[in-house]
Amino acid sequence: MNELILHETALAMVAPGKGILAADESTGTIEKRFKSVGVENTESNRRAYRDLLFTAEGGQQWISGVILFEETLFQATRDGTPFPQYLASRGMVPGIKVDKGAKPLAGAPGETVTEGLDGLRERLAKFKQIGTRFAKWRAVITIGDGIPSDYCIGVNAHALARYAALCQEADIVPIVEPEVLMDADNTIEVCENVTDRTLAAVFHELFTQRVLLEGMILKPNLVIAGKKNPWQADRKTVAEATLRVLKRRVPAAVPGIAFLSGGQSDEDATAHLDQIHKLGGGPWLLSFSYGRALQAAALKAWGGRAENVAAAQRAFLHRARMNGLAASGRWESALEQAA
């Protein structure tokens, strides 16, 4: 393990005013996204769509790195440059989602555990060879009647730490993503409590399994009421609750925290990150690692048609810029109207 390489890569991923594009939708997930805009889920459409995101002119001003799905790692731009090589040449760090998805957890109805540890060491060695410098593993924690259980939180935290240790052994920076879903009807207080329990378990396991905190990035959810709850806290309350939990549970040695968007509206995802900065942030660099909140507008503008690529790139660059500004507390809602 090269501590310096890990630390420098982690810092580059959360460079001030920049953040990560999560474009690592599995074939099943991108099918859902494509279906919503009437695009057929073929290999060539997936390549064309990722191509338009990665080649958008000037994207590197706001995007520090891109998380790829395994298939994309072996695809190339229109002129034949492999995507990882192309991204690196433009100053965007290429990364890879290595987990195999959340599967039903035995004996725990309604809860999941993320799989993918078997053979991970060998896969990481292969990814490293083709230029991958960071990885992602997403654990899913569901809020519901009597859940999450400590059992579910515990096994997911354990797997996250096992993954992170293997990544660091290969000089690959692990993005550690314990996602507390925001899909239920719970209050913000419940989300705060569950996020608190989850992060406590995750950092306990990271410590036990000797993960170098200086060489990782945390990717958490915001502390926010469930989407089905009609009573939503204002943006400042969300930002305050999120910072409160992070300050309690995330050691200052962690270089950066990059939030997931989790189904918030595009503007909420931007505004919450901005508000967190305007409240003074914390001892870590605070940024974004958004999938939907960076891509939804672009996907809609594209609709699978070559003649819409320029419009889709404009839509993507707008969100990238808004989130880049938010990542240093310089976003204003007037900038959205101006666009």
Candidate ranges 46-54, 101-109, 284-292, 306-314; the one touching ligand 13P (CB under 6 A): 284-292
Nearer to ligand 13P, 242 or 261 (CB): 261
Distance, CA of 320 to CA of 339 (rounded, Å): 13
Smallest separation, CB 262 to ligand 13P (Å):
4
Residue 287 interacts with ligand 13P (CB under 6 A)? no
Residue of 25, 177, 192, 205 with catalytic role? 177
Q: Is 94 helix (H, G, I), strand (E, B) or coil?
A: strand
Among 177, 205, 266, 274, binds ligand 13P (CB under 6 A): 177
Smallest separation, CB 167 to ligand 13P (Å):
16
Closest CA relative to residue 292, chosen from 314, 270, 311: 270
Smallest separation, CB 226 to ligand 13P (Å):
15
Nearer to ligand 13P, 219 or 321 (CB): 219
Q: Which two tokens stand for residue 212?
A: 């170098």
Residue 66 interacts with ligand 13P (CB under 6 A)? no
- The residue with tokens 């805009």 is 37
Smallest separation, CB 163 to ligand 13P (Å):
14
Residue 105 interacts with ligand 13P (CB under 6 A)? no
Nearer to ligand 13P, 168 or 289 (CB): 289
Nearer to ligand 13P, 117 or 310 (CB): 117
Q: Which two tokens stand for residue 75?
A: 């695809």
Give residues 1-40 in contact with ligand 13P (rule: CB under 6 A): 22
Q: Read off the DSSP letter of residue 144.
A: B
Smallest separation, CB 323 to ligand 13P (Å):
11
Distance, CA of 198 to CA of 195 (rounded, Å): 5
Smallest separation, CB 176 to ligand 13P (Å):
11
Residue 249 interacts with ligand 13P (CB under 6 A)? no
Q: Please state the length of the chain.
A: 339
83 near 23, Cβ under 8 Å? no
Residue 178 interacts with ligand 13P (CB under 6 A)? no
Residues 252-281: x where in contact with ligand 13P by CB under 6 A, - otherwise, as a string: --------xxx-------------------
Nearer to ligand 13P, 246 or 293 (CB): 293
Nearer to ligand 13P, 212 or 273 (CB): 273
Which residue, judged by CB position, is nearest to ligand 13P in the bound state?
Answer: 291
- Based on its alpha-carbon atoms, the radius of gyration of the chain, rounded to whole angstroms, reads 19
Q: Is 18 helix (H, G, I), strand (E, B) or coil?
A: coil
Amino acid at 84: P
Distance, CA of 17 to CA of 66 (rounded, Å): 15
Q: Which two tokens stand for residue 235?
A: 């943006």
Residue 291 interacts with ligand 13P (CB under 6 A)? yes
Angle between the N-to-C axes of helices 266-278 and 235-249, in degrees from 0 to 180, rounded to the nearest 10: 60
Q: Which two tokens stand for residue 129?
A: 């060879």
Amino acid at 117: L
Distances (CA, A) of 260 to 41, 136, 177, 263, 333: 24, 12, 8, 9, 20
Residue 219 among the catalytic residues = yes
Half-sphere exposure of 158 (CA within 13 A, CB side): 8
Give residues 130-159 in contact with ligand 13P (rule: CB under 6 A): 138
Q: Read off the DSSP letter of residue 284.
A: S
Closest CA relative to residue 147, chosen from 97, 119, 122, 113: 113
Smallest separation, CB 286 to ligand 13P (Å):
15
Nearer to ligand 13P, 122 or 331 (CB): 331
Residue 63 interacts with ligand 13P (CB under 6 A)? no
Instruction: List interacting residues with ligand 13P (CB under 6 A).
Output: 22, 138, 177, 260-262, 290-293
Annotated catalytic sites, by residue?
Answer: 177, 219
